[in-house]
Amino acid sequence: MTGFLLKSSMFDLLKICGSDKDQRLIKFLNLQLKLYSQENVYKTAALYGCTVLQMSQRPHGLWHLKDSMQALSSALEESLKQTNAKILFNQKVNSLEYDVQKKLWEIDSSSGDKVNKYYAHDVIYSPPPQGLLNLLVDKKDKYYKYQNRLNNLPKPSGALVFYSALKKENMINICSNHYQFISEEFGSLFISLSEEGDGRAPLGEITLIASIFTRTQDWFDLEKDQYIFKKNQYLNKISKALEEKFNIASEDWLHRELSTPRSFERWTNRPKGIVGGLGQNPDIFGLFGLSSRTPFEGLWLCGDSIYPGEGTAGVSQSALMVSKQILATRGIKNFNL
Give contact residues for ligand FAD (rule: CB under 6 A): 69, 92-93, 126-127, 159, 161, 211, 268-270, 275-276, 303-304, 310-313, 315
Specify whether the CB–CB gap between 292 and 263 falls below 8 A. no
CA 7 to chain centroid: 24
124-126-129 Cα angle (round to 5):
105
Give every CB contact of residue 199 below 8 A, 6+ residues apart in sequence: 67
Specify whether the CB–CB gap between 305 and 126 falls below 8 A. no
Specify whether the CB–CB gap between 238 and 210 falls below 8 A. yes
Closest distance between ligand FAD and the C-beta of residue 190, in Å?
A: 8
Closest distance between ligand FAD and the C-beta of residue 215, in Å?
A: 14
CB-nearer residue toward ligand FAD: 147 or 317: 317
CB-nearer residue toward ligand FAD: 74 or 268: 268
CB-nearer residue toward ligand FAD: 209 or 254: 209
Closest distance between ligand FAD and the C-beta of residue 15, in Å?
A: 31
Closest distance between ligand FAD and the C-beta of residue 102, in Å?
A: 22
Closest-approach residue to ligand FAD (CB)? 303
Distance from C-alpha of 166 to C-alpha of 177, rounded to nearest angstrom: 15
CB-nearer residue toward ligand FAD: 134 or 226: 134
Distance from C-alpha of 261 to C-alpha of 275, rounded to nearest angstrom: 9
CB-nearer residue toward ligand FAD: 57 or 90: 90
Distance from C-alpha of 150 to C-alpha of 152, rounded to nearest angstrom: 5
Closest distance between ligand FAD and the C-beta of residue 268, in Å?
A: 5
